[in-house]
Amino acid sequence: MDTNFLKIVEDIQTLRIQGATNIAVEGVKAFALLAERLDTGSLEPFFDELEKARYALATARATEPALRNGLRYIIYNLHENASTVKEAKEIVNSLSNEYIQLLKESKKKVISYGAHRIKDGSTIMTHCHSSLSTGIILEAHRQGKEIQVFCTETRPLYQGRITAKELVDAGITTTQVVDSAMRWVINSYNVDIIITGADAITSQGTVINKIGTRLLALAAKEMDVPFYSAINLLKYDPETSIGKLSEIEMRAASEIWDKAPDGLNFLNPAFETVSHDLIDGIISESGVFSPSIVYLIIKENYPFMIISEEMK
């Protein structure tokens, strides 16, 4: 595998590229560029190299089905249709563009539907950095709605600072709080709506997002504040429909405390689940609806993500 490709894999692992949509777009692009540069005489070694690349990207972050679904989309169609290396390269290129286009179009719709949900005068709360939920807030502001936003720091890697900077740069009144103040803010500042992003959604409509998201959803429930998850459905985890559990990525202890005393144990889960009963609605490219009907929507719109045991 060449160094340009490995650099992207490393950027994904180290969060220089972060957020599910960015990870999927950059990962799929890197895959297509690698395919373009591969110099193999016949199809078999070409497919072998692509499989190694697929594996490297698919395992770079454990909880990122949108990237894995993109690679599946390309490879499945490739094996069906390519008979020469030249043809295979063309197919990878056009399918990767198609998938990136799907991601971009779905993001636009999520942003548009989500902005409708924000009323003029709203106080909004969010967590971590999600290009979809920030996109919704920025769009509501662009439409001239008077809004203010509270966002968390998102320890240990402070992705909340990316959110805060984007919102402040756009001229939105924004306040950052430590993660443990999330409930206090909802209670003390009349938050009207909470919108977070999502990395994955399961066949049962459980959403997976940055650690702390479930706490936010529980606090929202306690105080009767609507909790929405902004997600494109390319983040569906197909394996959950055959009974597998989505994996939650565990990250290095050094992200929490790099010069910790010897003998101290750490746990650093990157994500957690939010079950559908805590979510008022998912804001998706197919509309705003209850997460519990996600499987039906996927079946209708993205049949390539429906799998069975035999396909594994």
Active site residues: 128, 199
Site map (CB under 6 A) of ligand RUB, residues 214-253, x = contact: ----------------------------------------
Verify binding: residue 19, ligand RUB, rule CB under 6 A: yes
The 3 state secondary structure assigned to the chain is: CCHHHHHHHHHHHCCCCCCHHHHHHHHHHHHHHHHHHCCCCCHHHHHHHHHHHHHHHHCCCCCCHHHHHHHHHHHHHHHHHCCCHHHHHHHHHHHHHHHHHHHHHHHHHHHHHHHHHCCCCCEEEECCCCHHHHHHHHHHHHCCCCCEEEEECCCCCCHHHHHHHHHHHCCCEEEEECHHHHHHHHHHCCCCEEEECCCEECCCCCEEEECCHHHHHHHHHHCCCCEEEECCHHHECHHHHHCCCCCCCECCHHHCCCCCCCCCCCCCECEEEECHHHCCEEEECCEEECHHHHHHHHHHHCHHHCCCHHHC
Rule CB under 6 A: say whether 21 interacts with ligand RUB: yes
Closest approach of ligand RUB to the CB of residue 184, in Å: 22
* Beta carbon nearer to ligand RUB, 50 or 198: 198
CB of residue 160 to ligand RUB, shortest distance in Å? 10
Residue from 96, 106, 122, 159 touching ligand RUB (CB under 6 A): that is: 159
Q: In this complex, which beta carbon is closest to ligand RUB, that of residue 12 or of residue 92? A: 12
Q: Which two tokens stand for residue 199?
A: 């990395």
Size of the site for ligand RUB (CB under 6 A): 19
Least separation in angstroms between CB 19 and ligand RUB: 3
Can you tell me which of 132, 138, 193, 279 binds ligand RUB, judged by CB under 6 A?
Answer: 132
Subset of 202-221 contacting ligand RUB (CB under 6 A)? 209-210
Query: Minimum distance from CB of 199 to ligand RUB (Å)?
Result: 4
**Rounded to an integer, what distance in angstroms lies between the CA atom of residue 242 and that of residue 272?**
20
Between residue 45 and residue 64, which ones bind ligand RUB under the rule CB under 6 A?
none
Q: Which of 53, 182, 270, 278 binds ligand RUB (CB under 6 A)?
A: 270
Ranked by CB distance to ligand RUB, the top (closest) residue is 197
- Looking at beta carbons only, is 52 or 165 nearer to ligand RUB? 165
| Closer by beta carbon to ligand RUB, 34 or else 128 | 128
Q: Does 176 participate in binding ligand RUB (rule CB under 6 A)?
A: no
Please tell me the distance from the alpha carbon of residue 125 to that of residue 188, in angstroms, as a whole number: 12
Strands 227-230 and 200-201, bridge-based pairing: unpaired
Q: Give CA–CA dist 26/24, Å, rounded.
A: 6
Q: 């050094």: which residue's tokens?
A: 254
Instruction: Select the span of 16-24, 88-96, 219-227, 238-246 touching ligand RUB (CB under 6 A).
Output: 16-24
User: Mask of contacts with ligand RUB, 90-109, x by CB under 6 A?
Assistant: --------------------
18 near ligand RUB, rule: CB under 6 A = yes
Separation between Cα atoms, residue 35 and residue 89, nearest integer Å:
6
Q: Measured from the CB atom, is 19 or 205 closer to ligand RUB?
A: 19
Residues that bind ligand RUB (CB under 6 A): 15, 18-22, 128-132, 159, 196-199, 209-210, 270
